[in-house]
Amino acid sequence: MPETLIVVPTFNELDNLASIVARLRSAVPSADVLIVDDASPDGTGELADRLAATDARIRVLHRAGKAGLGGAYLAGFAQAIAEDYTYVVEIDADGSHDPAELPAMLELAAHGADLVIGSRWVDGGSVLNWPRHRRAISRAGNAYSRWMLRSSIRDITAGFRVFRVSALQNIASTEVSSQGYCFQVELAWRLERTGHRIEEHPITFVERVKGRSKMHLGIVLEALFRVTAWGLRRP
């Protein structure tokens, strides 16, 4: 039975993809890598095909156009479920998340965690090269979500994660509708609410050096709006 599928969503990551994939392959050689590219105009999809052609553990899912991070991950999760993987990993392609942390995160999952979050905001975690306003947005977003959703997760917006596939199946991922940070909040909160075991592993998050961020005000506002709505509806 295949064990671990690493899903790498990409949109215009031409300068980052080869490096992150090489680092993943050396950090967790037994894991399979699925690149989910949304028809990046810069040629990231073609580069992904070339990487896949030289390595049987690398595959590419091409989607027709930019349809958001949430949808890209749901497509990757569907593949992990269909092919009976035990764990599925989320990681950014831009180098912000260090693949060298994955063995420790997978170990926590092997010891029973249903979701392991690579966390910036627990003891030992940190962020490198973020301007003050990015830190403030992340900290405030986490504090607000913890309070509004009565969550005890310190970094609920984090995008570096290991999920137990069977736990994801439990929360009917087809109903997950949000994007961006909100997608991450929604998944973690649903698992927490339904009694799944969640652990946070401290990481050092490094701001991307190459390529452009896809973060924008709309993503922050969506999260604010939805977290508020979920919190108010909470029984």
Ligand X SMILES: Nc1nc2c(ncn2[C@@H]2O[C@H](COP(=O)(O)OP(=O)(O)OP(=O)(O)O)[C@@H](O)[C@H]2O)c(=O)[nH]1
Q: Using CB under 5 A as the criterion, which residues of the chain lie in contact with Mg ion when the complex forms?
A: 92, 94, 96, 208
Specify the residue, 63 or 197, whose C-beta has the smaller distance to ligand X: 63
- HSE of 109 in the Cβ direction (CA atoms, 13 Å)? 24
213 lies in the binding site for ligand X (CB under 6 A): yes
Q: Which is nearer to Mg ion, 37 or 92 (CB)?
A: 92
Establish if 184 lies at the interface with ligand X (CB under 6 A): no
Helix ranges (H only) for 56-99 are 69-82
Contact 196, 161 (CB under 8 A): no
**Alpha helices (H) along the chain:** 17-27, 44-53, 69-82, 102-110, 132-149, 165-170, 180-193, 217-233
- Applying CB under 6 A, the span of 24-32, 80-88, 148-156, 213-221 interacting with ligand X comes to 213-221
Binding partner of residue 13 among Mg ion, ligand X, none, CB cut-off 5 to 8 Å per kind: ligand X
Antiparallel, parallel or unpaired: β 87-90 and 161-164: antiparallel
Letters for 100-139 (x = contact with ligand X by CB under 6 A, - = none) are: ----------------------------------------
Is 93 an interacting residue with respect to ligand X (CB under 6 A)? Answer: yes
Q: Would you say 60 and 49 are in contact if contact means Cβ atoms under 8 Å apart?
A: yes
* Residue 75 beta carbon to ligand X: minimum distance, rounded to whole angstroms: 9
HSE of 159, CA atoms in CB hemisphere, 13 A: 24
Residue 99 near which of ligand X, Mg ion, none (CB within 5-8 Å, type-dependent): none
What is the amino acid identity at position 226?
R
- Minimum Å gap between C-beta 213 and Mg ion is 6
User: Applying CB under 6 A, which residues contact ligand X?
Assistant: 9-11, 13, 36-38, 66-69, 72, 92-94, 96, 208, 213-215
